[in-house]
Amino acid sequence: MSKISYEKLGDGIALYKPVKSRFWWCRVRVDNHPAIKEIRKSLKTEDKNRAIYEAQKIALETEIKIKENIDLMTSKPKAWKIAEKAKIRLERAKPAKPTYPGYIRILEKEIIPFLKELDKNITEINRYTVEDFFDKYEKNSKTQVNMSKTCFKRVFEEGLREQWIEEKNIPKMPKVEIKETEEKRNHFNEEELATLHKRIDEYIGNSRKSVSKENRFLLKCMMLFLEASGARTGEECKIKWDDLEVIKKDGIKAVMCKISKGKTKGKGGRKIILDGQAIEAIELVFNYQLKGIEKIEKVVKTPFFEYYDYSNDRIDFFDFIDEAKKKLSGFHIFERKDRKEIDFSKTFELYIKWLREEELIGNKNHTLYSFRHTFITSKLMEKEEKRRWTAEQVAKHCGNSLQMIWDYYLHLQAEDTIFNFDYYIELRNKTEKITGA
């Protein structure tokens, strides 16, 4: 191509006007790229000063794209790079939400490696790409599927924020079927529960770092609370000191806890009464917040899943709650003193791994959700009829639909449980006749 008015600007940048063109063009030398040595581009202007500015801008953008591994030919970044930016944004978010550690782990362990292997630009990622992801990383629950979909949405939102894609081009998330043969999370039997609670102090004592020690101590408190309350892990992490309330009725005192969000359609959340073990777990956390781990006394052993009635002669038992609401108002209960959120799922996973290495527990599929599963199973399986809960009571307390309780827990294997099938099948039939379901 013949050129006129060729002018070097320095640093590998030059201006020129091709024959029969009224616009200025630029030539930008490209360093550290395996295939592209230079970029030639029309600057769409006849003004020389404007052309100089545009040429320098292109040179700077080219340098940034090379550092960020952005394809120079398409001018669009690799999808995995955008996913990394989304992960960093979650890591730096303040205040961090309880779900963020889970999102970060999915991005880091699954989505980023998957997108790296594809090596596609962000504009090339569509719903079929997401379907391929779910084919490769099978999910065993709707929660896992929804968390992964949310992570992909955050990747696209990051691309939108950086103006690499348009909102109309963000693909819809595909429908992902959960196989009926999915692996179920086991509930704990009494021996396994005893092992978890008995060995946790030893596990805490083995901590090499103070942060690890605090995380493990709070895991201990969380296990006690989950076992006694039946709350979801995500719900528990959101509970604040302000959500606790001491209530009185007919000379009896109890502690009520507001659960801000469940999976039912009601917008107001739900309120549950805490039993002695759940209250003791909260008191342990309160003492930790005020005194630190070293000065905390051991928790008092309480009967398995037994609710207590507190009369006026036990009034001192609840004094710490009012004090906690004053001193720790606005803070979440299950967080470190430095107000950092903890990835309890990962902490529990490491604890289970340690127990298995010590040959203290078997290889069942146990997660923190197993405490909730244990709570529900125990309430429905209670031998004593007066203490046995109905499916309706369990659904209301745990924030589930009645249908879910029926569908999931009526499929328990008889040889593994003492579940009263006849009682609940009869109850279900009666309810369906009444409601017409």
Chain segment 200-218, per-residue pLDDT in tens: 999 998 999 989 999 999 9
- Rounded Cα distance, 157 and 93, in Å: 15
How high is the pLDDT of residue 424?
A: 47
Q: Which of 20, 38, 68 corresponds to the end of one domain?
A: 68
| Residue 197 sits in the same domain as residue 100 | no
| Residue 36 sits in the same domain as residue 86 | no
Please give the residue that has the higher pLDDT: either 421 or 396. 396
**Which residues form the domain of 85?**
79-169
Q: How crowded is residue 310: how many other Cβ atoms within 10 Å of its Cβ? A: 18
How high is the pLDDT of residue 296?
A: 61
| Residue 89 sits in the same domain as residue 108 | yes
| Residue 209 sits in the same domain as residue 314 | yes
Nearest to 308 by CA among 275, 269, 345: 275
**Is residue 400 domain-resident?**
no
- Rounded Cα distance, 15 and 26, in Å: 5
| Residue 118 sits in the same domain as residue 256 | no
Q: Helix 402-409 to helix 369-381 angle, to the nearest 10 degrees?
A: 90
Q: How many CA atoms lie within 13 A of 297 on its CB side?
A: 5
| Residue 259 sits in the same domain as residue 346 | yes
| Residue 279 sits in the same domain as residue 329 | yes
**Is residue 88 domain-resident?**
yes
Q: Which of 293, 324, 351 corresponds to the end of one domain?
A: 351
Nearest to 173 by CA among 187, 188, 154, 192: 154
| Residue 56 sits in the same domain as residue 157 | no
Q: What is the mean pLDDT of residues 170-183?
A: 70
CB 151 within 8 A of CB 134: no
If one counts the domains in the chain, the total is: 3
**Is residue 49 domain-resident?**
yes
Confidence band, pLDDT 50/70/90 cuts, at residue 182: very low
- Rounded Cα distance, 105 and 199, in Å: 27
- Rounded Cα distance, 20 and 64, in Å: 33
**Is residue 297 domain-resident?**
yes
**Is residue 432 domain-resident?**
no
Q: Is 274 exposed, middle or buried (0-12, 13-18, 19+ CB in 10 A)?
A: buried
| Residue 213 sits in the same domain as residue 273 | yes
| Residue 44 sits in the same domain as residue 165 | no
CB 348 within 8 A of CB 297: no
| Residue 337 sits in the same domain as residue 223 | yes
**Is residue 436 domain-resident?**
no
**Is residue 296 domain-resident?**
yes
User: Element (H or E) spanning 283, and its range?
Assistant: helix 276-291
| Residue 347 sits in the same domain as residue 260 | yes
